[in-house]
Amino acid sequence: MDKKEPKILKVYEKRKIFYAISCLLIVTFIVLTLVIKLNVAIEFKGGTILTYSYTGELKTEDIEKVVSDTVDDKCTITLGEDTASDSKTIKIQFSSKEGISDDKQNSIKTALTEKFKDNDVKLLESTDVAASNGLDFFLKCLVACAFAAVITIIYIGFRFRKIGGISAGVFSVVALIHDMCMVYGCFVICRFDINANFMAVLLTILGYSINATIIIYDRIRENEKLVGSKYELDQLVNLSITQTMGRSIHTTVTTVLAMATVCMVCFIAGVSSIISFAFPLIIGMIAGVYSSNCIAPTLWVMWEKHKAKKGKGKAAKKEKRSQRR
């Protein structure tokens, strides 16, 4: 009996559905940003950090209620320990360009000491954070991302020059931008603070996603040598995606399961700072598999077909001119 040929996924034929889904999500993220606003952390927006020491046991929600009843400003409260003095601490962060006034700081101090008389609440430090420091860090991260994008285009352009490498590199970067938009959307929907974790996730996804895209381009190059004359370009890409899809999914599932475990443990332990890194990373990885298989290669095929059609048009015009002569 003859062996049946493996079923080839028709990814290119369904490209409009993939583009529509991605565009719809990105538009949704933009609308949500305008409607519900972003939670920008103090290191990027600037503000005031009040640090208090205390004894005994306190709950974050009790402190938050006292502060919200005293001042209208939104704040983030973190309970911790000062290793130097071996004392328990309350850190209250107000994210705003102006910070909070001395009168409000005094009101908060008075309210906390009166409400928690048995916990010996004392002010340790009041610090104003300049937004310029966070902005400088943010700009440096953007420069790093831009530099990585340029290097990616050059590297893919050189490595896959036989299959139109520069265009392949450009669409790899388009896929990276797509993945970053998905990570951004996760921060918006989940109401995570835009902070150092946000930049860390973006930089991590940069390396992860581009690796998945390179694997597919590598398979396209190999298949072109083996069956290039047998398949059209879109069929060749469908074949390559089908062959690498299983590997991409298995690799991603393994990493996603590890990150999901981290999220569950942190949720139980109440460590929100790690959740705001691990969960967006999961979304970025899933988006990376999606864009590497459904966005970058299909856009590349469309561009290559456009170039071929344009080349045929120019050749036809030249032939007509030569016939007239």
The domain segmentation of the chain, as residue ranges, is 12-38+133-311, 47-129
Report the first-to-last Cα separation within the chain, whole angstroms. Answer: 60
- Note the pTM of the prediction, 2 decimals: 0.79
Per-residue pLDDT, 143: 83
Ranges of residues in the chain with a pLDDT under 70 are 1-6, 83-85, 97-99, 130-135, 228-229, 311-325
How far, in Å, are 16, 130, 135, 196, 222 from residue 138 at the CA level? 34, 13, 5, 8, 40
CB atoms within 10 A of CB 11: 21
Closest Cα partner for 76 from 94, 50, 57?
94
Lookup: tokens for 229: 């004359």
Per-residue pLDDT, 2: 44
Per-residue pLDDT, 291: 92
Residue tagged 């939670």 (tokens): 39
Question: Pairing between strand 75-82 and 47-54?
Answer: unpaired
Per-residue pLDDT, 318: 56
Long-range contacts of 73-80 (CB under 8 A, 24+ apart): 73/100, 73/104, 76/42, 76/193
CATH topology of domain 47-129: Alpha-Beta Plaits (3.30.70)
d(CA 11, CA 143): 34
Number of residues written out for the chain: 325
| pLDDT tens for each residue of 129-165 | 766 666 677 777 778 778 877 888 888 888 877 777 7
Give domain 12-38+133-311's CATH superfamily: Multidrug efflux transporter AcrB transmembrane domain (1.20.1640.10)
Per-residue pLDDT, 261: 92
d(CA 193, CA 42): 9
